Structure 1
Amino acid sequence: MKEIDFRADEDIAKDFLSNFADALGDAKYLNILQEVANRKIRAIQIDLEDLFNYKDLDEEFFRRVTENTRRYIGIFAQAIDELMPEPTEPFPDDDHDILLTQRSADRTDNNDGSDPKEMMPPEIKRFFEVYIRASSKGQPFTIREVKASHIGQLVRISGIVTRCSDVKPLMQVAVYTCEECGFEIYQEVTARAFLPLFQCPSKRCEINKTKGNLILQLRASKFLKFQEAKIQELAEHVPKGHIPRTMTIHFRGELTRKVAPGNVVELSGIFLPIPYTGFRAMRAGLVADTYLETMSVTHFKKKYEE
């Protein structure tokens, strides 16, 4: 297999975001980035149809985005970091801005940035969310048509929402402060469960041969809104004599609170495995559960208004 050059793919993503124009000739994504910089919106939704219709379309790049979507969300986010314009309108500082300014000042005073464990991850600096929306052409999959071969890919499904959880905070970056050296240590959380750090891994504690105790700073850590739902096949999609199938759906950030039980919806998202944790993992072995990480929500039939 040919090795993929992700740095070159980031350049392609930057070129697309910079130069794509809509039907009116406006720079669609540059305008969206300006609205994000002015803190009017948080979500940046990239349409696969726009990528397909782009004048300088790289078909291999398009295929990779469709088949390895989660990785390419990160690549588009890195491209957006470099393209983000300066704000053109004043906006009040929120907690995120105040903490970021304070961290930058502390780093200038205390840390030369040579230790990679103390480097601020890009995720904690971002005040936007990136979503890649599947093409609306063609019929969406039914739940029973989504197979193991679709793992990691962008798929579009339809069904009825049967259950929704409350919106809860999901930790994205855990921030610790060392009692010995005083530095901030960052831990990116990529799974539903994580093992907290207890011992400082910084160079200063290593040189001084001290086992610095880490204190988790909840206010400085980054959390994301998270909601879980269940979606069930529509009656017309269930073969005669079969039981309707269900799928677990994860909503994050700006996509939370978009659905309620009883809504008939079309969702595009990334079909992903989620391994069992704790005691269930010992019994499950290599078996993993699956879920859809939602990228967009379209309502077919809204619930009745009072």
Structure 2
Amino acid sequence: MKIEGIFDPIERFEDFIKSYRTEDGTYKYRVMLQKMSLTGSKSLVIDFEDLLRFDPELAKKTLENPEEFIESASRAIKNVMLIEDPDYAKKIEKFYPRFKNLPEKISLRKIRSHHIGQLVAIDGIITRASEVKPQLIEAVFECQRCHEKIVVLQEEGKYTPPVQCTNPTCRRKGPFKLIVEESKFIDWQKIRVQERPEDLP
């Protein structure tokens, strides 16, 4: 149920994914979701021009606040996939929206402070890419004194153990053991990008 005046980005992305049709009447993104379940993909490539035509306000807010709205798109993909293919959706913890055809491409030398926190596209050449490595994002520790399990969210690139046990009857400051099997990891890769030769002054 929609409440007048309330902007729900998850609901708006769901509407876009379920309702967007091409000129021949094909439900473009519902078809793409069906293909994702067949190929085992977790990523939905969204043409930003489609989003701009369908819901200009949602498109604008996505450019201005990508961290929040990309997460909303991710949840929307999951919700619609639960309709299209419930069994596959339940196997995948998180789906990822990938936007292409953003309104503007920026050369590397023209990136400025006002671009921080915005969704932008850049032109460049990848000169180096690291191996894909696991990155810890949510660590589960076990107190070695009372066996209490403690969840600690990890900041990017920084390993953070608990300060003290959360068990009120313990409250010791360790030792703690990381429970790898119950912790959450994501794939992480570092790339180096340089300007294209034709963009050099």
Structure 2 unaligned residues grouped into runs of 5+: none
User: In the alignment, what sits opposite 2:41?
Assistant: 41
Counterpart-to-counterpart distance in 2, 1:229 and 1:216: 29
User: In the alignment, what sits opposite 1:70?
Assistant: 67
The alignment of Structure 1 onto Structure 2 pairs a total of residues equal to 194
Counterpart-to-counterpart distance in 1, 2:15 and 2:32: 15
- Partner of residue 171 from structure 2, selected from 211, 214, 219: 211
User: In the alignment, what sits opposite 2:57?
Assistant: 60
Letter in 1 for 2:28: K
Letter in 1 for 2:30: L
User: In the alignment, what sits opposite 1:298?
Assistant: none
Deviation at 1:177, TM superposition (A): 3.4
Matches of residues 15-54 of structure 1 in structure 2 within 5 Å? Answer: 15-37=15-37, 40-54=40-54
Deviation at 1:176, TM superposition (A): 2.5
User: In the alignment, what sits opposite 1:80?
Assistant: 77
Deviation at 1:198, TM superposition (A): 4.8
Deviation at 1:150, TM superposition (A): 0.8
Matches of residues 109-128 of structure 1 in structure 2 within 5 Å? Answer: 126-128=92-94
Deviation at 1:10, TM superposition (A): 2.0
In structure 2, relative to structure 1, the CA distance for the partners of 1:137 and 1:149 (3 Å cut) is: closer
Counterpart-to-counterpart distance in 1, 2:23 and 2:152: 43
1:148 aligns to 2:145 (yes or no): no
Matches of residues 239-250 of structure 1 in structure 2 within 5 Å? Answer: 239=201
With normalisation by structure 2, the TM-score equals 0.77
Q: Tell me the alpha carbon deviations over residues 65-86 of structure 1, each in whole angstroms, 9 at most, x when there is no partner.
A: 0111121111112223333326
Q: Tell me the alpha carbon deviations over residues 164-207 of structure 1, each in whole angstroms, 9 at most, x when there is no partner.
A: 22222112222233456656443333422242225333xxx22x
- Partner of residue 197 from structure 2, selected from 235, 246, 271: 235
In structure 2, relative to structure 1, the CA distance for the partners of 1:84 and 1:23 (3 Å cut) is: same
Counterpart-to-counterpart distance in 1, 2:138 and 2:124: 33
> % of aligned pairs identical?
27
- Partner of residue 131 from structure 1, selected from 97, 103, 107: 97
In structure 2, relative to structure 1, the CA distance for the partners of 1:49 and 1:188 (3 Å cut) is: farther
Q: Secondary structure at the match of 1:172?
A: strand
Counterpart-to-counterpart distance in 1, 2:146 and 2:19: 47
Counterpart-to-counterpart distance in 1, 2:87 and 2:13: 29
Deviation at 1:215, TM superposition (A): 2.3
In structure 2, relative to structure 1, the CA distance for the partners of 1:28 and 1:172 (3 Å cut) is: farther
- Partner of residue 182 from structure 2, selected from 211, 217, 220: 220
In structure 2, relative to structure 1, the CA distance for the partners of 1:28 and 1:179 (3 Å cut) is: farther
Deviation at 1:49, TM superposition (A): 1.5
In structure 2, relative to structure 1, the CA distance for the partners of 1:37 and 1:152 (3 Å cut) is: same
- Mean Cα deviation higher: 24-33 or 147-156: 24-33
With normalisation by structure 1, the TM-score equals 0.54
Q: Secondary structure at the match of 2:142?
A: strand
Letter in 2 for 1:44: L
Matches of residues 126-205 of structure 1 in structure 2 within 5 Å? Answer: 126-135=92-101, 140-179=105-144, 184-201=149-166, 205=167
Q: 1:134·1:154 contact (CA, 8 Å) conserved in 2?
A: no
Q: 2:36·2:42 contact (CA, 8 Å) conserved in 1?
A: yes
Q: Hey, which of these two has a bigger chunk of helix by percent?
A: 2
Deviation at 1:38, TM superposition (A): 5.5
Counterpart-to-counterpart distance in 2, 1:180 and 1:21: 59
